[in-house]
Chain A
Amino acid sequence: MNERMKSLTLGLVVVAGLACAALMVRWTNSLRPPPDPNAIDESLYLNGKTARRISLGFNGLVADWYWMRSLQYVGKKILSQPEDVAIDDLSKLNLKLLAPLLDTATTLDPEFLDPYEYAAIVLPAVDVQEAIRITQKGIAANPNAWRLYQHLGYIYWQQGNYQAASETYGRGAQVPGVPVWMLAMKAKMIADGGSRDTAREIYTRMFEESADEQVKDMARKHVLLLDSLDQRDVLRKMMHAFRDKSGHCPTSWTEMPTAFRVFAIPVDSSGAPVDPSGVPYLLQPGTCEVQLNPKSEVPVK
């Protein structure tokens, strides 16, 4: 065998061997029993302080790793669900590692603001005390980051603790360069904490200020829901007025076309009122009730 043939044979052995190895990995993977999605998650081996100590100056990179791991962790759990889940309602997903992951990421890099925001939005449904603790830790490390006050106020508001929410917005309003609406939110929380107007204001500000696409989308959907709830209240009133006048509930939207114009509710080409995402509402004949269309982008709750 000459030198060229020898090299060619050896090259072929390398390529074929690697291809075989890849095929064998796939084969052994197929033999492995599938992981139980409800299995208890492993715990993190390191806490944030230890991880920071042993990161030898690479703490920023390790924090990025923990941050990406948090996103992958939540993403995998969401994908394992058959139906869509909202980012702020992940209580069903057994996210017991999320708080330690975010805590480690923020201990490694205390100035990294995105994990705090994620903790404030996602964690309350999983562990509200941890969400409050991590966001407060963020405020202690970054006292001039006014958005953290906004997030903490949001957690308190969700809990119905309007007093604490008001105080938090008030503290945030003292940060130099903060938008003026933070001070207005302080007053609004005390005067009108549980109203739809306050909720709309909170989600609108969150949509405007957040850089995270998932958070923006969640805030936008909440605003759609609030607008739709207002619209549905008006539609119900209109149908009750129709029933008082005609003695029966409307069987079709075409029976009350002028009323929509009066209350500035948009309609589609067939004359049916449409929700804020542009999908027509469904009328439940004989009950004076209005429902969201399953095709609608507006969340049910």
Chain B
Amino acid sequence: MPPPTITVPTHYTRVDTTASLTQSTTRAESRQSRLWRITAIARNAFREAVRDRVLYNLVLFVLLLTAASIFIGELSGGQERKVIVDLGLSAMLLFGVFIAIFVGVGLVYKEIERRTIYAVFSKPVGRGEFLVGKYLGLCLTLLVNVLVMAVGVSLALLYVSRGWDPLIPTIWPAVLLIYIELMLLTAIALFFSSFSSPALSALLTFLVFIIGHFSADLKGLAGSMGSTSARWLFDALYYLLPNLANYSFITPAAHGRAPGARFVFAAGLYALVYIVVILAAATLVFSRRNFK
């Protein structure tokens, strides 16, 4: 027996196809223009950071490394390579944390203070797009900062070793993890600044940075707690607060040990999820904010 056939009127089919084509074209165009707007805001945020002389910290970093390369050999009992990696990567993290916190908390606040935010939102720019653009702009600034510093550390190692040093390839995965940590911290600073004053946002972000590095202790505390509610509280803090200890690979890098590719991937994925969550929450808060 032949299968039953369903006859569809031709004009219906034509109308449906045209509608879906028009819809998908509009969606693609809207996605493209949204991307363009975010890119424009990010580019401007980067330019603003450069104009604000944020990258001047690189001069201090270069001076620090040059001095360390020349003098640290005498002070460290022949451990200058280890000290240069420790010092270089620690300075990279510290300078990056300061930039992420102090520039990050001012990203939104400055626009509100100068009232330029009205000009931005008078154009077809969404609040979420504005936040993501600002975030990416600062991430770009931090990327330039971290890359220049990593090249500086590699050059310092070349100088003290009088040639190729096996520590050079092992520092780059640690540098990548530092950059991911800074991206995470920037998102947190932006989140706090979306509803709070710069001083309070900086303080709160710094506290998250400290607690994030104490995550192992939070887990230990949860395990040693007698009461169930306290254990639940510390367990919740351990799982909900960003685990920044995942990105601390400076000391192993100084001993020539690089994190495995799977670990870096997992840490990167964790950061991505966390950043998406934080930016979504920031957008949620920021979109309800009244600028009057």
Q: Do A and B share a complex? A: yes
Q: Are B213 and A72 in contact (CB under 8 A)?
A: no
* Complex-state Cα separation, A60 to B85, whole angstroms: 9
Query: Is B76 close to A, CB under 8 A?
Result: yes
| Contact call A64/B78, Cβ cutoff below 8 A | no
Chain A residues contacting B213 (CB-CB under 8 Å) are: 56-57
Beta-carbon nearest neighbor of B248 in chain A: A57
**Contact of A61 with B by CB under 8 A:** yes
- Decide: B93 and A64 in contact? CB cutoff 8 A: no
Chain B residues with CB under 8 A of A63: 86, 251
Smallest Cβ-Cβ distance to B77: which chain A residue = A71
Query: Which B residues lie within 8 Å of A263 (CB)?
Result: none
A31-65: which residues lie under 8 A (CB-CB) from chain B?
53, 56-61, 63-64
Contact of B90 among A58, A67, A112, A118 (CB under 8 A): A58
* B-contact 0/1 string along A191-223, CB 8 Å cutoff: 000000000000000000001111000000000
The reply to whether B244 and A64 contact each other, CB–CB distance below 8 Å, is no
Q: How far is the CA of A205 from the CA of B128 in the complex (A)?
A: 67
Asked if B217 CB lies within 8 Å of chain A CBs, one says yes
State the majority secondary structure of interface residues on B.
helix
Among the listed A109, A114, A118, which residue makes an inter-chain contact with B251, where contact means beta carbons less than 8 Å apart?
A109
| Chain A positions within 8 Å of B250 at CB level | 57-58, 60-61
Per the bound structure, the CA–CA distance linking A224 and B77 in Å amounts to 24
In this complex, the interface size class of chain B, counting residues with CB under 8 Å from chain A, is 20 to 34
- Contact status B75-A71, CB under 8 Å: yes
Question: Which B residues are in CB contact (< 8 Å) with A56?
Answer: 209-210, 213
Of A68, A112, A114, which one neighbours B75 at CB under 8 angstroms?
A68
Task: Tell me the bound Cα distance from A64 to B213 in angstroms.
Answer: 20
Whether B217 contacts A64 by the Cβ 8 Å rule is no
Cβ A112 vs Cβ B244 within 8 A: no
Docked-complex contact B214 and A53, CB < 8 angstroms: yes
A106-150 CB contacts (< 8 Å) to partner B: 109, 111-112, 114, 118
> What DSSP secondary structure best describes chain A's contact surface?
helix
A103 and B42 CA atoms in complex are apart in Å by 48
Q: Which residue of B lies closest to A215 (CB)?
A: B77
B87 contacts A by Cβ under 8 Å: yes
Residue contact B75 to A60, C-beta cutoff 8 Å: no
Could you tell me the distance in whole angstroms from the C-beta of B262 to the nearest C-beta in chain A?
21
B117 within 8 A of A: no
Q: Across the two chains, which residue of chain A brings its CB closest to B245?
A: A57
B38 at the interface (CB under 8 A from A): no
Q: What's the Cα separation between A127 and B56 when bound, in Å?
A: 49
Q: Mark A59-84, 1 if CB is under 8 A from B, else 0.
A: 11101100110011000000000000
Contact B76 A71 (CB under 8 A): yes
Contacts of A118 in B (CB 8 A): 77
Give the residue name and chain of the A residue nearest to B217 (CB).
A53
Scoring B90, B93, B251 by chain A CB atoms within 10 A of each residue's CB, the highest score goes to B251
Given contacts A56-B210, A109-B251, contact A213 B78 (CB under 8 A): yes
- Judge whether B86 and A60 touch: CB under 8 Å: yes
Q: Which of A218-235 contact B (CB under 8 A)?
A: none
For residue B82, give the distance in angstroms from its CB to the closest CB of chain A.
7
Distance A27 CA – B283 CA, assembled complex (angstroms): 60
CA distance A121 to B77 in the complex (A): 14
Given A57-B248, A58-B250, A64-B87, A114 and B214 contact (CB-CB distance below 8 Å):
no
Q: Are the CB atoms of B210 and A60 closer together than 8 Å?
A: no
Contact (A111, B252) CB under 8 Å given A57-B245, A67-B76: yes
The residues of B that contact A109 with a CB separation of less than 8 Å are 251
Q: Measured between alpha carbons, how far is A204 from B217 in the docked complex, in Å?
A: 46
Interface positions of B from 55 to 104, Cβ below 8 Å from A: 75-79, 82-83, 85-87, 90, 93-94
Q: How far is the CA of A127 from the CA of B90 in the complex (A)?
A: 34
Q: Are A61 and B90 in contact (CB under 8 A)?
A: yes
**10 new A-B pairs (CB below 8 Å) besides A57-B245, A67-B77?**
A56-B210, A57-B247, A57-B248, A59-B251, A60-B254, A63-B251, A64-B83, A64-B86, A68-B83, A114-B78
Taking Cβ atoms with an 8 Å cutoff, the residues of A that contact B are 53, 56-61, 63-64, 67-68, 71-72, 109, 111-112, 114, 118, 211-214
Top 8 closest pairs, chain A to chain B, by CB = A60-B251, A57-B248, A60-B86, A61-B90, A61-B86, A56-B213, A64-B83, A58-B90
Taking beta carbons and an 8 Å cutoff, which residues of B are in contact with A? 75-79, 82-83, 85-87, 90, 93-94, 209-210, 213-214, 217, 244-245, 247-248, 250-252, 254-255
